[in-house]
Amino acid sequence: MFKADWPAPLHVKTAVSTREGGVSLPPYDGLNLGSHVNDRPEAVAQNRQLFKQQAGMPAEPLWLNQVHGKECVLLEQTDFSVGPFTADASTTKTKGVVSVVLTADCLPVLFCDAAGTQVAAAHAGWRGLVDGVLEQTLTQFTDPSQVMAWLGPAIGPTAFEVGDEVRLAFMAKDAKADAAFMAVPNKTGKWLADLYQLARLRLNAAGVSQVYGGGFCTYTDSQRFYSYRRDGQTGRMASCIWID
């Protein structure tokens, strides 16, 4: 487990899991926190409690049913009996409510405003990025220019191979996105995509100038991270944020 490295107010707390520790057996070996990947439910439940305790969370994270969309829900209570919400981002202004997203190559993005009065977590795979999950999350904040973002562990630019359709989808939204794609030698129509650069472009365009993190690669760092593209059947990491 580690924390976001960014200049957020001290009462804004974060926790990002790795695959290390935990009780899940292969192919989920380690601290799998995803309940939808056919791991043993009792193992996932135990892993979630371990992670909650290690991170010192004030309540159970409000787990989402993620669908690679752009919906962002406002969380106002710690009671999750009404859920789970089907969404790919959540935000809260309520102390003690833990926003969380699960990933295993897709990009987790954490947000907070300058005063630390509101936080959010978003799950941004390439589809979510194209469709505007980051922008949708930012609409929940009063002033995006006063928001900072942290980019968590995702598949890196040397490993994320995509087809023409992905590149064209991004360029249709912003021509500058072309800079985030590098042609794969001897593979016509194949590109290496930089999710971190694509996210920074979208955040900057939405008014967020303070963007931190990035530089991870879930695909190549098999000791620390799960990677769906590398392993297929595998576990999930969590990126959490809350106001203490």
- Give the pLDDT of residue 83: 66
| Backbone torsions φ then ψ of 127, nearest 5 degrees | -65, -45
69 vs 78: CA distance, rounded Å: 23
206 vs 134: CA distance, rounded Å: 9
The CATH homologous superfamily to which domain 12-156+195-243 belongs is CNF1/YfiH-like putative cysteine hydrolases (3.60.140.10)
- High-pLDDT (> 90) share of the chain, %: 96
The structural domains of the chain, with segments of one domain joined by +, span: 12-156+195-243
Segment 120-166, tens digit of pLDDT = 999 999 999 999 999 999 999 999 999 999 999 999 999 999 999 99
CB-CB neighbours of 130 under 10 Å: 19
Q: What average pLDDT is seen over the chain?
A: 96
| Measured CA distances, 73 to 70, 80, 136, 165, 188 (Å) | 10, 13, 10, 29, 40
In this predicted structure, the answer to whether residue 113 has a pLDDT above a threshold of 80 is yes
Sorted by sequence, the CB contacts under 8 Å of residue 185 that are 6+ apart come out as: none
Segment 55-107, tens digit of pLDDT = 999 999 999 999 999 999 999 876 666 667 999 999 999 999 999 999 999 99
Segment 158-168, tens digit of pLDDT = 999 999 999 99
Confidence tier at 185 by pLDDT (50, 70, 90): very high
Sorted by sequence, the CB contacts under 8 Å of residue 59 that are 6+ apart come out as: 78, 96, 97, 98, 242
* Closest C-alpha among 84, 80, 135 to residue 109: 135
> Sign of dihedral through CA atoms 41, 45, 51, 55?
positive
